[in-house]
Homo-oligomer: A and B are copies of this chain.
């Protein structure tokens, strides 16, 4: 089993619960709990310099802002710098995020080794995940695969660009003008209209307002 593990989780209760699970159920000998991404990255760096690197990092994705200044503001940023510094580090993400496309991106872009959803079986799954990752396999919470089949549709860059401007209160004509001014293409009002209409169908929205609301609620934008 892993001997040296760092845990990065800003909720004190969750942090404590995970720590207990890792030390008691999995007999991790050296567990370091951190509440900030920056501190966790420092731990990794120092340990690596001493030639006593951490073997596994368990991290959340979202970290609440508080009075402390910070460079790394999210788990994903932490993962990127940690991966760059120590490519062989095993990484398991433990988060509330349940959007399959985001999770897929973490596996593909950031080469994480496991993903566990916070939930009623979070600790049971985490134990499984650590065991799987220890044996060089990957782990994904089962409920995630189910939802992956549902919403296979993805917003592309053009969709996101339009939606971002609409969310800021621009009219479609203003979006078109802005795109033209910035030499982004396609940019005609008609094409933008068409794109949005397609999104209405895909998300079963009746108009721009309900579309943006739904997407915001689902955390897609």
Contact = CB atoms under 8 A, between A and B. Distances in A.
A17 B216 CA distance: 31
Nearest to A205: B169
B16 A21 contact: yes
Contacts of A169: 205-207, 209-210
A44 interface: no
A136 interface: no
Looking at A16, A122, A124, A205, which has the most chain B CB atoms within 10 Å of its CB?
A16
Interface of A: 10-21, 35, 64, 66, 94, 118-124, 126, 143, 166-171, 205-210, 212-213, 216-217
B12 A122 contact: yes
Number of copies of this chain in the oligomer?
A: 2
Contacts of A10: 119-120
Contacts of A122: 11-13
A20 B123 CA distance: 14
B11 A119 contact: yes
Given A12-B123, A120-B35, A167 B210 contact: yes
A15 B123 CA distance: 10
Given A169-B206, A216-B217, A21 B11 contact: no
A209 B119 contact: no
6 contacts: A12-B17, A16-B123, A17-B18, A66-B119, A168-B210, A213-B216
A5 to B, nearest CB: 15
Looking at A12, A13, A207, which has the most chain B CB atoms within 10 Å of its CB?
A13
Contact of A12 (B11, B120, B212): B120
Contacts of A206: 168-170
